[in-house]
Homo-oligomer: A and B are copies of this chain.
Amino acid sequence: MQILVLNGPNLNLLGMREPETYGTITLSDICSEMDILARELEVGLTHYQSNHEGDLIDRLHQTMSKEAAVIFNPGAFTHYSYALRDAIAAVSVPVIEVHLSNIHAREKFRRHSVITPVAAGQISGLGSTGYLLALRAAVSLAASEEEGNE
Contacts and interface: CB of A to CB of B under 8 A. Distances in A.
Interface of A: 8-10, 12-13, 16-18, 50-55, 57-58, 61, 64, 75-77, 79-83, 85-87, 89-90, 96, 102, 104-105, 109, 113-114, 116-126, 129-130, 133, 136-137, 140-141
Contacts of A122: 102, 104, 122-125
Given A76-B86, A124-B121, A116 B133 contact: no
Output the residue of A105, A121, A123, A137 with the most chain B CB within 10 A: A121
Contact of A54 (B9, B18, B96): B9
A83 B76 contact: yes
A79 B85 CA distance: 12
Contacts of A16: 64, 90
B116 A121 contact: no
A112 to B, nearest CB: 8
8 contacts: A10-B90, A51-B57, A51-B83, A51-B87, A76-B81, A80-B80, A80-B82, A133-B133
Given A52-B54, A82-B109, A104-B117, A61 B123 contact: no
